[in-house]
Structure 1
Amino acid sequence: MTEILDGAAVAKITNAKTAERVSKLPKPVTLAVVYDPKNDGSRLYVNMKSKKAATVGIVTQDMPTDATATTESVISLIEKLNADEHITGILVQSPLAKGVKEREVFSAVAPHKDADGLGATVQGMLFGDALQDYTVAATPQGVMTLLQHYDIDIAGKSALVIGRSQLFGRPMFALLTNADATVTLAHRYTPELTLRTHLKAADIVVIGVGQPNFLKGSDLKEGAVVIDVGMNYVDGVAVGDVDFKSAQGVASYITPVPGGVGPMTIATLLENTVTLAENYQ
């Protein structure tokens, strides 16, 4: 029988712990959010994050970029936020305006304010499995929290990550590797036959490709743990990258869409923000 990994329930627990930590800090916790206001998805996500932040006691400052935004102008804004002692953490909401080099912008965020762990410095610490504290991209870290909450053993397991973005796939690969899984990273240039072969061998599958129902139950190894990071809309209905109905009964555990990884992403971002506040008071 397939067990549902309830991200909404785990996020609620995480948020309660975050609120308690915020209440113990001597100074306000403030998250600055840099985003492109012309992007409908970004406006929606920023609004959702602001509302959830308020429930745990974190103040947000929305920093919309203007219509003529360039890499240089966004980095200039980031540098001002880095220097502002009232700003605890900085989130750069992707995608930014066309032509803005996001990797350069991510890396302009000071490591001690990098709430989403996307800068080169903190990602280097992740890939080096550094001993000191550092932030990790919220979506893959949220996946790890979900796996840990359900006591899903990772060490020694065969894991397949499908998608290699800086926001999800690459840090997901590193986190699973650091947790002693044997990890394969697949992407758009992975031959289909190769991908299907890896799927049939994978104990854990984490997918985020933005293609509705990309995976079917018949693609999976019996008893696989399936983490669906995708969020797509088909006829106005939210669906993931996995055909949930056909995967049930094949997977041992699976995340729903919505209500799986999404709530964990926001909860982890807020958790990261309060960690920055605790470390750099």
Structure 2
Amino acid sequence: MTEILDGKAIAKAINAETKLRVAKQDRPVTLAVLYDPSNDGSQLYVGMKSRQAAKLGIKTLDIPISSDATTATVIKLVEELNDDDSVTGILVQSPLAKGVKERQIFSAVAPHKDADGLGATVQGMLFGDALEDYTVAATPQGVMTLLKHYNIPLKGKNALVIGRSQLFGRPMFALLTNADATVTLAHRYTVETTLKTLLKNADVVVVGVGIPNFIQGQDLKNGATVIDVGMNVVDGKATGDVDFESAQGVASYITPVPGGVGPMTIATLLENTVTLAEQNN
């Protein structure tokens, strides 16, 4: 029997708590979002974040980055936001224009304003399992919250992360490692036969490669926990990187798409934002 992990319900509870925390702040909580307005996906995500933020009492400052922007001009903008006391947190919505080196932009964000935990400083703290407070990228942190809510054990388990992006795969690897799982990081260049072997041995699979139905139920170890971070559109419908139907009955736990990791990402981002407000105040 496969249990479906209800990210929507957990995100609702997180949002309710975030709203209470925002109301206790002495000054407005404001999230600045840099994004590429020509990217339809970014437009969609930024709109969703802004609407949810408004419901929680968080102000958003959506800043479009033009297609002819350079790394230097965006860094200058980020530095201005770093110095602006009215801005609580900063989010760089990937992808930006091709001419912009995103990793430099991520790291230009001051650590005390890094709402999505993508800068080199906070990611270094994550990989070092630092004792100090620091933010973590919203998607992998949301995944960890899901696993914790359902009491899914990680200590000593074989975990497989498929995808090595700075936004998802790398911080996901670090979080699972810090939770005492034995973690393997696979990616687009992992040989198919190797990936199949890894999948058959993985107690926990977290995948985010952007390929519809990339993983089939027959690829999985019986009883595996499957976290689908993928968000694709097939025939007008949202679908993940895992073939949900074939995975049911094989996996012990699985996230649906939509309604799994997606709501957790936004809820975690806004939770991070109010946490920064509390720390900075």
Query: Structure 2 length as normaliser, TM-score?
Result: 0.99
Mapped to 2, the partners of 1:103 and 1:62 lie a distance apart of 20
1:222-255 Cα shifts (integer Å, max 9, x gaps): 0000000000011111100000000000000000
Structure 2: how far apart are the matches of 1:167 and 1:275? 19
Give the Cα separation in 1 of the matches to 2:62 and 2:117. 19
Asked whether the 8 Å contact 2:79–2:108 carries over to 1, the reply is yes
**1:58 lines up with 2:54 in the alignment:** no
Q: Does 1:173 align with 2:173?
A: yes
Q: 1:22 maps to what in 2?
A: 22
- Per the alignment, residue 122 of structure 2 pairs with 122
Unaligned runs of 5+ in 2: none
- Tell me the CA shift for residue 65 of structure 1: 1.2
Regions of 4+ moved over 3 Å: none
SS at match of 1:91: strand
Q: Which amino acid aligns with 2:181?
A: A
Paired position in structure 2 for 1:142: 142
Amino acid at match of 1:169: G
User: Structure 1: how far apart are the matches of 2:93 and 2:32?
Assistant: 10
Where 1:164 maps in the other structure, the secondary structure is: coil
Give 1:209's aligned residue: 209
Residue 194 of structure 2 is aligned to residue 194 of structure 1: yes
Task: Return the alpha-carbon distance in structure 2 between the equivalents of residues 215 and 265 of structure 1.
Answer: 22
Question: Which residue does the alignment assign to 1:159?
Answer: 159
Deviation at 1:38, TM superposition (A): 1.0
Amino-acid identity (%) = 77
Q: What SS does the corresponding residue of 2:185 show, helix, strand or coil? A: strand
SS at match of 1:32: strand
Letter in 2 for 1:98: K
Q: Is the 8 A contact 2:68 2:99 kept in 1?
A: no
Paired residue for 2:6? Answer: 6
String of CA shifts for 1:128-168, please: whole Å, max 9, x gaps: 00001000000000000000111111111110000000000
2:139 and 2:261 in contact (8 A); partners too: yes
Task: Provide the rounded CA distance (Å) in 2 between the counterparts of 1:52 and 1:176.
Answer: 28
1:263-274 superposed matches below 5 A: 263-274=263-274
- Where 2:72 maps in the other structure, the secondary structure is helix
SS in 1 for 2:97: coil
The letter for the 2-side match of 1:119 is: G
Following TM superposition, by how much is the alpha carbon of 1:66 offset from its aligned partner in structure 2, in angstroms?
A: 2.2
- Equivalence for 1:229: 229
Q: How far is 1:189 from its partner?
A: 1.1
For residue 68 of structure 1, what is the aligned residue in structure 2? Answer: 68
**What is the SS of the residue equivalent to 1:160?**
strand
| AA in 2 matched with 1:118 | L
Amino acid in structure 2 at the alignment position of 1:154: L
Instruction: Report the AA paired with residue 147 of structure 2.
Output: L
Encode CA deviations 1:56-87: one digit per residue, 9 max, x unaligned. 11100011112321111111110000000000
TM-aligned CA deviation for residue 98 of structure 1: 1.1
Q: Which runs of 5+ in 1 are unaligned?
A: none
Shift of 1:99: 1.4
Q: Does 1:34 align with 2:34?
A: yes
Structure 1 match to 2:92: 92
SS of equivalent to 2:12: helix
SS in 1 for 2:14: helix
Cα distance in 1 between the residues matched to 2:5 and 2:128 = 29
Q: Which residue of 2 aligns with 1:133?
A: 133
Indicate the SS of the match to 2:205: strand
User: For 2:167, what is the secondary structure of its paired residue?
Assistant: coil
Alignment partners' CA distance in 2, 1:187 and 1:44: 26
For 2:66 and 2:192, locate their aligned partners in 1 and report how far apart those are by CA, in whole Å.
Answer: 41
TM-score, with normalisation over the residues of structure 1? 0.99
Query: What CA deviation, in whole Å up to 9, does each residue of 1:82-137 have, x standing for no partner?
Result: 00000000000000011110000000000000000000000000000000100000
Paired positions, count? 281
Q: Secondary structure at the match of 1:31?
A: strand
Instruction: Report the counterpart of residue 259 of structure 1 in structure 2.
Output: 259
Distance 2:19 2:153 in 1: 29
Instruction: Note the C-alpha offset of 1:26.
Output: 0.9
> What is the CA–CA distance in structure 2 between the aligned matches of 1:220 and 1:161, rounded to whole Å?
13
Cα RMSD (Å): 0.5
